[in-house]
Structure 1
């Protein structure tokens, strides 16, 4: 039985940004004043969307001083958006709090739809090109694929426990989901059929798909962080690190298929060689000084066209980093 979806009206507030060595960004912009709940960076590193603690959702063209749009997820009241995702073609954004998800147009800044879920809380969301498909992970282990234009809904019931992280292919045909049942699944959004099963020794905390359909990344809460061949389901490499555990908050593949870029809940950003799994570069974002001890969660990472790296974190800052190699 599908969860009840209620189509409501969106409100928009109108248009208007071991020891680890300290690193200095090339550029830095403040996108929210009091810190952020969530953020995402577009596949081409040009746009970021940030859910601020005290100023709603802001859409930024990276490098500009004022936001493109300022959105309100549920109208008046506190902003509680904890998950958001930009489509690979930079046309749409999906935002979600624990109870509802919304679809927005980047091209116009207008709201497209708002849907409330009355079964379990939302854990993560993802969106395909043109806003054609939305993936919603829930705390009861179910994942819903939803097509706003046709109202088609498909429930994926493969997970036995809470789903923590999801991603969707740009064409909306494939979903990657990982949960507390120690498993990540690659599955078809047309049929719900499982294509590949990726097993882990502990709960899966982060998954990511390569936008070009070559790779998948799955990571658990301990020490297994694996890059897979999407076509064959075979392992390509495991990330190599000394720490007994390493948690990831975002993961993005480079266009040339050589690198994986990851963010962490403890300020750290890493660049990995895809074939060997070895770390090739690292940075540390600015901390959020209003928390004790001062730290920051890296919510979004991205590759820029000039070869540099861009990040968004809970400190409310967008930062650009130079690659050393």
Structure 2
């Protein structure tokens, strides 16, 4: 490739978007990808197939501006959002179940629980809305003092994890809005993630603290060990057996970590998007396939499968 860092080689590769992607998510079992393309709307793919399962449009015939995508842990629902509105989609039928506009401030991140029973919407004002589409119940979480950067929701929809510019991540109840655990950082919290099995939480800031926590006790399990001054994470996935953590980054890199020790076990470099200069790619989605291998989806518009070394 002509660069000093050798590219890692995927086992397989599929093109999901021609001109690059704005956002994507991979299901927790690594079998489904939902990709928001720059020029072709939102496409739902079964990893390994050559035609999309569904093609979705957020705003009708206008330009696609969807920048947040989240697949529920049970793969039954997907929530997509641009800066002003979010939509809930049924994965069984491929049909939308609702479209809601947010007037107060820009949408920063979204997440959806199993069966679509609850949707979490983070806003630039610092408030987070928990919304139940069926009952129309809304709860506003006002714990953050500044802009919220990242959110996640438990599969049953009862717990939310959020992190913001106030240097804090909160685990809180979507039923009462009550804070369960407070995780503090030395700088703004840029990424949070919950383990679907209810064992761990992950919080990372803009500098050097990337922490795995015991979600029941709130105590630290391990800190990710890296030499560089900072690591920014774009997606996080816990393995089902509770041994590994997978992270994506804005600079083509995917890392596999040991949850118990925080040690880095493997480094992967996804294909770059050649149409921009310098060629690079943001890793939007990471996942573990049922056979243990790793699957990624990036702004290059490619889904790639990698052999796991450990």
The normalised TM-score by structure 1 is 0.94
Q: Is 1:109 equivalent to 2:94 in the alignment?
A: yes
Q: Secondary structure at the match of 2:115?
A: helix
Deviations 1:31-52 (A, max 9, x none): 0000000000001111000000
* Matching of residue 273 in structure 1 with residue 258 in structure 2: yes
Match of 2:267 in 1: 282
1:298 pairs with 2:298: no
Q: 1:62 aligns with which of 47, 51, 67?
A: 47
Partner residue, 2:113: 128
1:76, distance to aligned residue in structure 2 (A):
1.1
**Of 226, 233, 241, which aligns to 2:226?**
241
Tell me how many residue pairs correspond in the alignment.
307
Q: Note if contact 1:215-1:227 (Cα within 8 Å) is conserved in structure 2.
A: yes
Q: Deviations over 1:174-220 (max 9, x none)?
A: 00000000000000000000000000000000000000000000000
- Quick check: 1:215 aligned with 2:200? yes
* Contact 1:258/1:273 (<8 A) preserved: yes
Which string of whole-angstrom CA distances, capped at 9 and with x for unpartnered residues, describes residues 288-321 of structure 1? 0111100000000000011100000000000000
Question: What's the RMSD between the two structures over aligned residues?
Answer: 0.6
Q: Which residue in 2 is equivalent to 1:263?
A: 248
- After superposition, the C-alpha distances for 1:239-290 in whole angstroms (9 at most, x for unaligned) are 0000000000000000000000000000000000001100001100000011
Q: Hey, what's the Cα distance between the residues in 2 that align with 1:296 and 1:203?
A: 23
Choose which of 212, 216, 220 in structure 2 pairs with 1:231.
Answer: 216
How far apart, CA to CA, are the structure 2 residues paired with 1:127 and 1:119? Answer: 21
- Within the candidate set 4, 10, 24, 2:9 is matched to 24
* Residue 320 (structure 1) aligned with residue 305 (structure 2): yes
1:253 aligns with 2:251: no
2:266, 2:188 → 1: CA distance? 27
Q: CA deviation at 1:20?
A: 4.6
Q: Distance in 2 between matches of 1:148 and 1:321?
A: 37
Q: Secondary structure at the match of 2:155?
A: coil
User: In the alignment, is the contact (CA less than 8 A) between 1:50 and 1:57 conserved in 2?
Assistant: yes
Task: Report the Cα offset of residue 235 of structure 1.
Answer: 0.3
Contact preservation (8 Å) 1:20, 1:284: no
- Find the aligned partners of 2:232 and 2:29 in 1 and give their Cα distance: 24
What's the counterpart of residue 7 of structure 1? none
Q: Confirm or deny that 1:198 pairs with 2:207.
A: no
Q: Deviations over 1:110-164 (max 9, x none)?
A: 1100000100000000000000000000000000000000000000000000000
Deviation at 1:324, TM superposition (A): 1.5
3-state SS in 2 of match to 1:154: strand
TM-score, normalized by length of structure 2? 0.98
Question: d(CA) in 2 for partners of 1:158 and 1:21?
Answer: 44
Runs of 4+ deviating beyond 6 Å: none
How far 1:21 sits from its partner (Å)? 3.5
Indicate the residue corresponding to 1:158 in structure 2: 143
- Structure 1 distance, partners of 2:124, 2:242, is 33
Helix, strand or coil: the match of 1:130?
helix
Q: Distance in 2 between matches of 1:318 and 1:22?
A: 16
